[in-house]
Amino acid sequence: MSRYLTPGKIALLVLVELYAESRFPNKAVLPVISFVIKQLVRPKDTTTFILGLDQIKDVTVNEPSTVVGRTIFDLLLMELWYINSFDALHTFFTDAQIYLRDPEKQEPSSGHVKHNKRRFISPTSILGCFIRRAGLEFSKLQFHETNSLWGAFVQFREPTLSLWKKRKLGAGPMSFDVNLKGMTMNDLLVQKVYGKLDGSKDWTVSTDDVERLLEYQVETMQRLGTRVPDETQLQLRKMLSTDVPISHLRHYVNFLNSWRSGDYPSSFDSLHRYFDYTMHSRDRTFYQYALLNLAILQADFGCHRESVLAMQETINTARENKDMACLNFALSWLYHFHRAHPQDCPDVIASRMERESLQFLKAKAKEWGMDHLLSMAYLSEARQILLGGDSVPAAFESLLRSSHINVTHQIHNAQGSQILLQSTLWSRLGVSQLAWLNCELFLSKYDNGSPSEDLVVALCRSAYIISMRGRFDEALDRLEQVDQEALRSLKIYQYWASYIGLIKLRRAVYRNEFAAAELLLQQLTSSEQVEPDCALEISIAKIELQMRTGNFVAAMLHCNQVSGELVRDRADSYHKVRLMILKAEVFARSGRAMKGLSTAISAASMAWKARFLPVLFYAFNVIATILIQLEEYSVAYKMLDSIMPQVLECEDAYLTAQCFACLADGQVGLAGTRKGVSRAECLGRALSFIDRAFSEYSHIQDVYSQKLMMSRKIRIQDYLGDKALRDDAVKMYRQVEQGREGVNPGPSPFRH
Amino acid sequence: MATEIPDLPVLHTALQIATLKCSERCLYQGAKWAAELLNSIASPPSTPTSLPPTYLHPASKNPAEAALEASEFSTFLLAKSYFDVREFDRSSHVLEKCRSSKSRFIHLYAKFLAGEKRKEESSEMVLGPMDGAATQNKEVPAILAALETAFADKEGDGLDWSEDDSFLLWLYGVVLLKQKNEEEAQGALIKSVNLYPYNWCAWQELAGTVGSLQDLNNILMSLPNSIMTNLFVLSTNQELYQTGDSIHSQLTDLLAFFPTSAWLKTQRALLYYHAREFEEAESIFDQLVKSDPHRIDYLDHYSNILYVMERRPKLGFIAQLALTTDRFRPETNCVVGNYYSLKSEHEKAVQYFRRALTLDKTCLSAWTLMGHEYVEMKNTHAAIEAYRRAVDVNRKDYRAWYGLGLSYEVLEMHYYALFYFQRAAALRPYDSQMWQAMGQCYDRMNRPGEAIKSFKRALITLNSQSPNPDSHPSAVGEQRGFDPLILHQIAVMFEKMRQPKEAAKWMEACMAEEENVGVTTTTGQARMWLARWEFVNQNWNRAQELANVLCQDGQEVEEAKALVRDLRSRGHE
């Protein structure tokens, strides 16, 4: 068990000495020294933990030294083999300290002249710290530890013997220790002292290395929200197999890992274990962090009440200890939690949350200079505005503020939430192209160093937008491109899987594959942890399914139930409005148009107020449908006609198709009130609308609606008496019907 | 000391039995020593096909005693097994009522060891407040009383002393030694070895009571006529730093019997070491280490040799070797401590010596070496205490005495220092270092007469052909090969005594040493002194000559030049 020193570190120290002795030409200084420093500072990737001679060789073997014909690797080898006994190792460490001396302070002495090429290393530089630390750690070693280090070093150097033999005449298998001159490997004495070395892995890895690896791992996991990659797991296992004492940080890594993989008992256990050890070593100052972790853990596993209690305790402890960073974080978390799960918050908290709202958080964040928190607070503000359906410019202002902070303070991991929120905003404004662009932008430009959760969310959102345009296969393909590493985290996987399920569900519903749809629906609703956006879409798909199967009662019931839940949870007003419209649509489709009218109109006015444009268009569509049922054809037509350009901009294939169908209905209705040429004109327009609706429906593969459109077309052509065209349409109808063989064809549209 | 040459098969059997007897009585070190010697016999007699039963449990030769032993056999086995797992009190208790000599020995010996253990526990840390004479083995008086009544009973019953009683006598001696009752102890031990000579433990304890050659010669006559006596005499002579040829030849004789005995070879190496013939000592130890790398005994002495020779890599290697065998042996820790001392890491060295002492409070070399380290660290009081403990353990350690003297000298307590230097010089009469130190001490105390005597004594010891110290300095000078420093010091002493003529003669002798050792600072100083002396005596030419030599090189060029100028001005007159 080594605390710090390993044979690799000795080799590094030799390199530093060579550098200090000015044995590197200028050209070689940069690559070699940056390699050395990379091993000493905070790790950036996983390659710098177990340092082998091969790695050093790769860097140094091509670098010429100031000695003609020798590479730096040759010099390194020479220095390494000059450490030819236990005592020489000891001397080596003692001598290394001389490079640290400050040249100004040194009194001129006679031995000074020959070292005029020596460069001195400042004791506070990275290299200086390394030299000092190495010296200190060496002098801290007990004799037997030093002996183990020496043994490990002998083994470490062993593979280079053949190279060394070429350079040095008379070097043999026993030249690793000068005391063994004239003996062979089979000598009793050699066996005794060095016999146990073979295959021993002691001291090849130090606690310092393990800690560096674990710290790096924790940092990555916390930043990116992923699990431990297999490669790192392997390295860690390799390190731990060398009898190195396990750092308690290991438990924290275990905790994060099992948390991400959704293993509640073991994450709970690991967290407790970790803090058992930290309590011991770092006093009680970290109690609040233990509680904080616990609260988040419990929330993640759905123990909301427990979680709130733990968080309250966190806040109290943080207040006691005056740990503002923790306190603010906890408050912010509680605020979000309160927003997300108001039903689980005790009244005390809820009322406090009302008081200590965002303003408080913002003020605190500003006061303590916590930029990250401030940026998040602005984002929350924007989100809140969106949820409440308030002023869009205000939302943009908050977004901009957050973005400004992110950019000026280089807060990379807040970038994701900000861009995603922006994308949501655009899609609510009905500019789906921009929303999609935002997601893609984030995916392509910020994929480095962003939390994988944000990345997956962006991917899902982007795929969903594509699927809205009717390109289901492309959307599913896009989803398959997800980083498999990210999916190892349970929460992310669930999110991703629910989006795949949702897209497949919608496709199944449109294709009239009811059995498949039912199955998918069952799977989707069985998982508890579904994000609200997704949950709403699933509900909508369910209602749609129920309507298509003609089960209007169930659809209505479900509609009422969901809207009731939304009201209870004080949920997103966007969701509420969607539900209202859906309700109106159920009424309209079930033939009770009048009942739905007021609901649709109030929904439309709400949507307009909040500028939920796609929803507004849906509402218009429903209203138009109702008006047509009420035989107010011209009003319905005019109303829809005026919004059509914007509807097209929304790029929602289903909405567009429905609008076109509605327009056709309006024209047909108008034709009923007119005579002669004007009637024919109306019918002609209706036909063209039907064609466009048909093409949109065929995008989303909505078989039933396609057939519906064709049947209407057939009837109109029939009325117009154009047999050839009618037959064409009939052929088309048959094609549509046959194209979906084995699929429930649904009720025949001719029944209506 | 002419002993009849033992019959080899007899010796072989005797040593076998001795090993068994010792290990039966839990005298592990004695058993180990006897077994080692047994296996180093030159040509062991052909092995019998089966062992007689007496080999497993060598019964007493006395039938009554043997019957007793047989009747108590199972109890004895129980006690021994307890003893082997170090449950001394329990072992002792089991044998409470037993009558046989063997059982009684284990009963008392276990009690003694239990007492020792408790003493160790209560003395706490090394050099702590409870460490030292204040903490005693509390079982000692009870054991002593029990032994005395047993012996008195024996006397009263008119029974003969037998071989079995020798172990009880040994214990008696040990206990008496604990009470510092050396004379009686010596008597008991001599009686013990006479009854049964193959118990090496008894010989060792006996060696501990021998403080000088005189003592050895006194007891020589009362020792048994056995080869063991020869071994004892040899090792005691070694411990008394006798390095004469006779000892060597004695050793050679013994080696003929036991040609592979590592113990005997070690004795040879130690003899060389005491005679400061380090190369030979090193080569013997080298071979020993090569032939049996698992042996740790005496490695601390080897490390001392390497230390003096400043063989750092080799010392490091020996430390590694010792470490791989056993980290928790006092010898190992001494070697490591020596290594750190040579690397000038005195704190670490002290740490390891302390460790050695924690393992074994009677580890002599650790005490002494720790004293040296404390001197290096300028902690004189701790050094004195460490040396004092070393001397308590073994009064024959001249280095500890010398160290004590040096420490007191540092403290400027010359009278004390003098006493210790005298002790050291008594142990090493042929070591000039001791005498020199003593001379300096006298000098500081303004007793130049005694100082001169000491310095003269220091001169003799360097040369084995030992010239007469009282002879005239010119005669001394003729013989050459003396340390100019000592000669110079003698001259300075004479000068102090206002005998400049005598001083001049010694200065001449000192200068003459240049032929052997070359020009040194001391000879330069002597030359300068002589030049001035001649100047005062108005021997201008000679003064000129001497000063001119000095002007060419030497430390006192300026002074010499001034003298030359002075001479010139006078020459012009």
Q: Please spell the DSSP secondary structure of A150-181, one letter per residue.
A: HHHHHHHHGGGHHHHHHHSTT--TTTT-GGGT
Rounded to an integer, the average pLDDT of A367-387 is 83
Residues B425, B411: Cα–Cα separation, whole Å: 20
pLDDT of residue B554: 62
Residue A206, classed as helix, strand or coil, is strand
Main-chain dihedrals φ then ψ at residue A171, nearest 5 degrees: -75, 135
**What residue type is A668 in one-letter code?**
V
**A140-169 residues touching B, CB cutoff 8 A:** 143-144, 147, 150
Residues A221, A260: Cα–Cα separation, whole Å: 9
pLDDT bin (cut points 50, 70, 90) of residue B387 is very high
**A344: contact with B, CB 8 A cutoff:** no
A94, A178, A192 ranked by CB distance to B294: nearest: A192
For residue A89, the chain B residue with the least C-alpha distance is: B313
Rounded to an integer, the average pLDDT of B303-310 is 93
**What residue type is A534 in one-letter code?**
C
Distances (CA, A) of A664 to A311, A625, A628, B158: 58, 11, 11, 142
Which of the residue ranges A403-412, B140-149, B427-436, B510-519 has the most confident prediction, judged by mean pLDDT?
Answer: B140-149
Contacts of A130 (CB under 8 A, 6+ apart): A12, A13, A16, A40
Q: Does residue B464 have a pLDDT over 50?
A: no
Mutate to test the interface with A, among B288, B320, B336 (most CBs of A within 10 A): B320
Cross-chain residue pair B317–A192, CB shorter than 8 Å: no
Residues A248, A211: Cα–Cα separation, whole Å: 9
B545, B546, B550, B555: CA torsion to nearest 10: -170
pLDDT of residue A260: 81
Rounded to an integer, the average pLDDT of B518-537 is 83
Contact yes or no for B494/B500 (Cβ under 8 A): yes
Query: Considering chain A, what is the average pLDDT of its residues?
Result: 83
Question: Which residues from A are below 8 Å from B345, CB to CB?
Answer: 139
**B294: contact with A, CB 8 A cutoff:** yes
Residues A665, A547: Cα–Cα separation, whole Å: 20
Q: Does residue B477 have a pLDDT over 50?
A: no
Cross-chain residue pair B324–A150, CB shorter than 8 Å: no
For residue B333, the chain A residue with the least C-alpha distance is: A143
Cross-chain residue pair B324–A87, CB shorter than 8 Å: no
Cross-chain residue pair A86–B323, CB shorter than 8 Å: no
pLDDT of residue B340: 94
Q: Does residue B437 have a pLDDT over 60?
A: yes
Query: Considering chain B, what is the average pLDDT of its residues?
Result: 86
The DSSP call for residue B96 is T
Residue A64, classed as helix, strand or coil, is strand
Q: Does residue A110 have a pLDDT over 50?
A: no
CA of B404 vs chain A CAs: smallest distance (Å): 29
Ranking A737-741, B153-157, B407-411 by mean pLDDT, the lowest is A737-741
Residues B142, A590: Cα–Cα separation, whole Å: 113
pLDDT of residue B52: 65
User: pLDDT digits over A332-363, tens only?
Assistant: 888 878 777 777 777 666 666 665 667 777 88
Q: In terms of Cα–Cα distance, which of A9, A21, A286, A248 is closest to A149?
A: A9
Contact yes or no for B164/B185 (Cβ under 8 A): no
User: Quick one: chain A helix, strand, coil %, rounded to 5?
Assistant: 75, 0, 25
**A188: contact with B, CB 8 A cutoff:** yes
pLDDT of residue B478: 47
pLDDT of residue A715: 86
Q: Which residue has the tokens 């007021």?
A: A598
**What residue type is B488 in one-letter code?**
H
**A630: contact with B, CB 8 A cutoff:** no
**A21: contact with B, CB 8 A cutoff:** no
**A594: contact with B, CB 8 A cutoff:** no
Mutate to test the interface with A, among B317, B335, B340, B350 (most CBs of A within 10 A): B317
Residues A394, A156: Cα–Cα separation, whole Å: 65
pLDDT of residue A162: 86
pLDDT of residue B461: 63
Q: What 3 state SS string does A405-462 have?
A: HHHHHCCHHHHHHHHHHHHHHHHHCCCHHHHHHHHHHHHHHCCCCCCHHHHHHHHHHH
Interface A-B: count of C-beta contacts within 8 A = 61
Q: Does residue A101 have a pLDDT over 50?
A: yes
User: pLDDT digits over A58-86, tens only?
Assistant: 888 888 888 888 888 888 888 899 888 89
Distance from the first to the final alpha carbon of chain A: 83
The DSSP call for residue A115 is G
B313, B323, B343 ranked by CB distance to A85: nearest: B313
Q: Does residue A744 have a pLDDT over 80?
A: no
Contact yes or no for B290/A188 (Cβ under 8 A): yes
CA of B312 vs chain A CAs: smallest distance (Å): 6
Which tokens hold the place of B420?
A: 């210790």
Q: Does residue B465 have a pLDDT over 50?
A: no
Distances (CA, A) of A519 to A501, A507, A526: 10, 13, 11
**A551: contact with B, CB 8 A cutoff:** no
Q: Does residue A749 have a pLDDT over 60?
A: no
For residue B286, the chain A residue with the least C-alpha distance is: A189
Q: Does residue B346 have a pLDDT over 90?
A: yes
Higher pLDDT, B508 or A170: B508
CA of A181 vs chain B CAs: smallest distance (Å): 11
Rounded to an integer, the average pLDDT of B511-530 is 81
**A88: contact with B, CB 8 A cutoff:** yes
Which tokens hold the place of B189?
A: 């031990």
The DSSP call for residue B261 is -
Cross-chain residue pair A196–B294, CB shorter than 8 Å: no
Residues B400, B402: Cα–Cα separation, whole Å: 5
Q: Does residue B446 have a pLDDT over 90?
A: no
- Report CA torsion sign: B475, B477, B479, B482: positive
**B518-557 residues touching A, CB cutoff 8 A:** none
Please return the burial class of B392, using the count of CB atoms within 10 Å of its CB with bins 0-12, 13-18 and 19+: middle
Cross-chain residue pair B317–A196, CB shorter than 8 Å: no
User: pLDDT digits over B179-228, tens only?
Assistant: 888 889 999 999 999 999 999 999 999 998 888 888 888 998 899 888 89
Q: Show the CA angle centred on residue A678, arms to residues A674 and A684, nearest 5°.
A: 110
Contact yes or no for B198/B228 (Cβ under 8 A): yes
pLDDT of residue A652: 87
Q: Does residue B90 have a pLDDT over 90?
A: yes
Residues A453, B569: Cα–Cα separation, whole Å: 104
User: pLDDT digits over A538-568, tens only?
Assistant: 888 888 888 888 888 898 999 899 888 888 8
Residues A439, A447: Cα–Cα separation, whole Å: 11
Residues of chain B above pLDDT 70, percent: 92
Cross-chain residue pair A192–B312, CB shorter than 8 Å: no
Cross-chain residue pair B323–A147, CB shorter than 8 Å: yes
**B244: contact with A, CB 8 A cutoff:** no
User: pLDDT digits over A212-262, tens only?
Assistant: 878 887 777 777 777 777 777 777 777 777 666 667 777 888 888 888 888
pLDDT of residue A115: 53
- Report CA torsion sign: A568, A571, A573, A578: negative
Residues A362, A370: Cα–Cα separation, whole Å: 10
Rounded to an integer, the average pLDDT of A193-214 is 77
pLDDT of residue B468: 47
Question: Which residues from B are below 8 Å from A139, CB to CB?
Answer: 345
Question: Which residues from B are below 8 Å from A192, CB to CB?
Answer: 293-294, 321, 324-325
CA of B326 vs chain A CAs: smallest distance (Å): 11
Contact yes or no for B376/B348 (Cβ under 8 A): no
Question: Which residues from B are below 8 Å from A85, CB to CB?
Answer: 313, 316-317
Residues A531, A543: Cα–Cα separation, whole Å: 18
Cross-chain residue pair A139–B319, CB shorter than 8 Å: no
Q: Does residue B123 have a pLDDT over 50?
A: yes
Q: Which residue has the tokens 């097994």?
A: B81
Burial A200-233 (b: 16+ CB within 10 A, else e): eebbbbbbbbbbbbbbbbbebbeebbbbbeeebe
Mutate to test the interface with B, among A82, A83, A85, A87 (most CBs of B within 10 A): A87
Which of the residue ranges A384-398, A663-677, B79-93, B451-465 has the most confident prediction, judged by mean pLDDT?
Answer: B79-93
Which tokens hold the place of B138?
A: 């509390």
For residue A179, the chain B residue with the least C-alpha distance is: B314
Rounded to an integer, the average pLDDT of A169-180 is 80
pLDDT of residue B5: 66
Residue B108, classed as helix, strand or coil, is helix
Rounded to an integer, the average pLDDT of A511-526 is 87
Question: Which residues from A are below 8 Å from B352, CB to CB?
Answer: 143
Q: Which runs of consecutive H residues, i.e. helices, occur in A511-531?
A: 514-526
pLDDT of residue A304: 83
pLDDT of residue B353: 94
Contact yes or no for B107/B79 (Cβ under 8 A): yes
**What residue type is B467 in one-letter code?**
P
**B350: contact with A, CB 8 A cutoff:** no
Cross-chain residue pair A189–B293, CB shorter than 8 Å: yes
Q: Does residue A423 have a pLDDT over 80?
A: yes
Cross-chain residue pair A87–B315, CB shorter than 8 Å: yes
Which residues face A71 on adjacent strands?
A64
Cross-chain residue pair A188–B291, CB shorter than 8 Å: yes
Phi-psi region of A483 (alpha: psi -120 to 50; beta: other; left: phi over 0): beta
Residues A520, A341: Cα–Cα separation, whole Å: 26
**B51-90 residues touching A, CB cutoff 8 A:** none
Rounded to an integer, the average pLDDT of B495-521 is 83
Mutate to test the interface with B, among A82, A90, A143 (most CBs of B within 10 A): A143
**B321: contact with A, CB 8 A cutoff:** yes
Cross-chain residue pair A88–B313, CB shorter than 8 Å: yes
Q: What 3 state SS string does B420-431 have?
A: HHHHHHHHCCCC
**B313: contact with A, CB 8 A cutoff:** yes
Residues B40, B258: Cα–Cα separation, whole Å: 5
Q: Which runs of consecutive H residues, i.e. helices, occur in A196-303?
A: 207-224, 230-240, 249-260, 264-282, 287-300
**A274: contact with B, CB 8 A cutoff:** no
User: Quick one: chain B helix, strand, coil %, rounded to 5?
Assistant: 70, 0, 30
**B307: contact with A, CB 8 A cutoff:** no
What is the number of alpha carbons within 13 Å of residue B442 lying toward its C-beta?
Answer: 20
Rounded to an integer, the average pLDDT of B54-65 is 75
